Amino acid sequence: MRNSLRFGTLGSRIYSFFILFIFGTIIILQLVAFQFTISTVQNTTIESNKTLLGQLTRQIESYIEDMEHLSLAVIEAEEVQTYLRGEAPAPLPVYTKLIQKQLGTYLKAREDIKNIYFSDMVGNILSADASVEINQYADVLNSQWFTSAVDNPSETILSGSYVQNLITEDYSWVTSISRGIVSLDTGTLLGVLLVDLKFDGIKELCQSMVTGRKGYNFIIDDQGVYVFHPTQQLVYSGVKDEPLDEILESIHSGEDNTYSDGEKYYFINDSETTGWHMVSVLYEDDIITDWQYVQISFAAIGLILFLVVGLVTNRITRSITSPVKKLQKIMKSVDEGEFHLVGEIHATDEIKELAHDYDIMVTRIRELMHENVKEQELKRKSDLKALQAQINPHFLYNTLDSIIWMAEMKQHREVVLMTSALSKLMRISISKGREIIPIKDEVAHVESYLTIEEMRYKGKYDSEILIDPELYEEMTLKITLQPLVENAIYHGIKESDHKGLIQIIGTREKDTIVLKVIDNGNGMTPEKVKMLNSPYTVYEDDQPWVNLRGMGVRNVHERIQLYFGEEYGLHCESLLGVGTTITVRIPVRGGVR
């Protein structure tokens, strides 16, 4: 757990890298998608706004064109012409009523016409609506609709929006169409026709065809004078400002009829028939109104995406790292000297292969170690064999000296005895190369040795051999007892000033044969005994006591252990000045059952 959180581990590295990477990727993706959504919505909105503006323009145009046709019909009406020529038959009010009735049908048919008037050349007004009172203060001759029509008698004059004051106390917003009334007979100008259109119609059109909460339309003429603006008061008093210069420039350049000041879009549509320019205003922040929704859904998508990818990454990371960790744990067992195999592992192919190769390697190491141990054993055995086969040359030439000396003394009987003992000793020593021999042979061997030594050290010690005869056929490692006896003589008895006794006792304890070599010589210090019994004592050649005492004994011990196992071998007990007992333990029947 602690390890896995450190940045050094494979898992945390993969994980943190992925998290960072995904984090960045998602942010970039989201921003791009967000921008894309915005611009798409923007373009769609702009396009639909343009379409809407086109519709608005067409509707206004067709509306105005309708009115133009109507005005043409009126100016050519016989009664109007007659009236204006001053040729109306008396009584005049009756004729006036007739005209008013005729024009009144237009008023009834068209709700959107406020009123129809015509004026003669001195400014006398006749209204189609008979119920209204003409404002006596109205200055007809200086009105724009009048002067323009007089100046261009053959053209239809379209005014912008204005307040009509021709009727007393009725200041209505109108757009008017005026046209000179030319006599059909003489071609002289008789008067001016004025058709007042309720401005509400155009206003409602402009106000209904808007996009967004704040969007609006306005209309300007060629000079940049407002025909209509929904918040004219704010515009005229300077609270609001429209970029008229830029819009006019855009109109006159005839290029892209779109202008944007960053906050608002202005779409401009020119109307040929009316000479007006319809401008549609779209607020940037009206384009996407459900910002909150777009925002939250984008952020939520980001969150979900991140969680999903995060979890998947976590899964993948763990599927990589957990087998590696398992592998690592098993490999660690090598530190403790154990070689465990990985066996089956649930992982990717690479890891599986790695585990398999590791298993092969561990198996190989195990084999090698086994071989190594065996080789070592073999080597030691052969070393020891070589050692045991050597007969102490001192002993040999001492014995031969003794024989020579006895021969010179013509002690034939002794010569024969010693020579035959030596011969027997050597024969058993060789034993045709066998390692294991019957105990009786071993006893014979040690007897021969004792015979020779007794003849050499006459009266120095006594010896007795007390072996259970049942053991005679049991097998033992050859040259087991002789080194012990030699040790007893040379290091025990020889230094002692009293007559020594060496006892060799053989008994059986269950499945163990116990052979004891007991002497009553000098004995050893407890340290030496401890040293001798310790299984871990390492004998080094430069330690003098090793040479003096124990080398042979030690060899016997090691050989027994090599052949019969660790539980067998030698054990030494000794008291300084009292004597030494060395016990040999070997298995019955050579350990073979």
Partner 1 sequence: MKNWFVLLLSFMAALILFFVLTIFYEQSTPQKLELDTPIPIVLKSRMVEPMEFWDVVHRGIYEAAKEYGIDVKISGPLYEKEIDQQIEIVEAILNEHPPLLVLSATDYVKLVSTVEKADKMGIPVITIDSGVDSDIPVSFIATDNIAAGEKAGLELLRLLENKENPKIAIVSHIKEAASAIDREAGVRKALAGENIVGTWYCDVEEDRAYEITKELIDTYDLDGIVALNEVSSLGVARAVDEYQVKDALVVVAFDNAIRELAFLESGVIKATVVQRPYNMGYMTVKIAVDYLKGEDVPDFLDTQSVLITQENMFQREYQELLYPFSNAE
Residues that bind partner 1 (CB under 8 A): 1, 4-5, 15, 19, 23, 26-27, 30-31, 34, 135, 137, 160, 162-163, 165, 168-169, 171-173, 199-200, 203, 213-214, 225-226, 230-234, 236-237, 239, 284-285, 291, 294-296, 298-300, 302-303, 306-307, 310-311, 314
Q: Which residues of 266-277 are buried (b: 16+ CB within 10 A; e: fewer)?
A: bbbbebebbebb
CA dihedral 37, 39, 45, 48 (to 10 degrees): -110
**Cis? peptide before 91, omega within 30° of 0:** yes
Percentage helix, strand, coil, to 5, in the chain?
55, 20, 25
d(CA 517, CA 450): 13
3-state secondary structure 30-52: HHHHHHHHHHHHHHHHHHHHHHH
CA dihedral 32, 38, 39, 43 (to 10 degrees): 160
3-state secondary structure 407-438: HHCCCHHHHHHHHHHHHHHHHHHHHHHCCEEE
Nearer to partner 1, 314 or 507 (CB): 314
Q: How far is the CB of 83 from partner 1 (least distance, A)?
A: 28
Nearer to partner 1, 31 or 578 (CB): 31
Q: How far is the CB of 171 from partner 1 (least distance, A)?
A: 4
Nearer to partner 1, 11 or 569 (CB): 11
Q: How far is the CB of 176 from partner 1 (least distance, A)?
A: 14
Helices 92-109 and 10-75: crossing angle in degrees, nearest 10, is 160
Nearer to partner 1, 19 or 546 (CB): 19
Strands 436-438 and 475-477: antiparallel
Angle 109-110-116 from CA coordinates, rounded to 5°:
105
Strands 569-575 and 579-587: antiparallel
Q: 299-307: which pairs have CB atoms within 8 A and are 24 or more residues apart?
A: 301/30, 302/26, 302/27, 302/30, 305/26, 306/22, 306/23, 306/26
Nearer to partner 1, 289 or 372 (CB): 289
Q: How far is the CB of 51 from partner 1 (least distance, A)?
A: 24
Nearer to partner 1, 171 or 397 (CB): 171
Q: How far is the CB of 34 from partner 1 (least distance, A)?
A: 7
Nearer to partner 1, 233 or 253 (CB): 233
d(CA 442, CA 463): 16
Q: How far is the CB of 196 from partner 1 (least distance, A)?
A: 14
Q: How far is the CB of 88 from partner 1 (least distance, A)?
A: 31
Residue 198 corresponds to which tokens in the numbers above? Answer: 């309720």
Q: How far is the CB of 123 from partner 1 (least distance, A)?
A: 16
d(CA 537, CA 553): 13
Nearer to partner 1, 115 or 257 (CB): 115
Q: How far is the CB of 307 from partner 1 (least distance, A)?
A: 5
Nearer to partner 1, 233 or 534 (CB): 233
Residue 418 corresponds to which tokens in the numbers above? Answer: 């010693």
Nearer to partner 1, 266 or 461 (CB): 266
Q: How far is the CB of 298 from partner 1 (least distance, A)?
A: 6
Report, in angstroms and rounded to the nearest whole number, the Rg of the chain calculated over CA atoms: 68
Residue 467 corresponds to which tokens in the numbers above? Answer: 């072996």
3-state secondary structure 80-91: HHHHHCCCCCCC
Q: Does residue 177 contact residue 67 with C-beta atoms inside 8 Å? A: yes
Q: How far is the CB of 184 from partner 1 (least distance, A)?
A: 34
Q: Residue 477: helix, strand or coil by DSSP?
A: strand
Nearer to partner 1, 290 or 377 (CB): 290
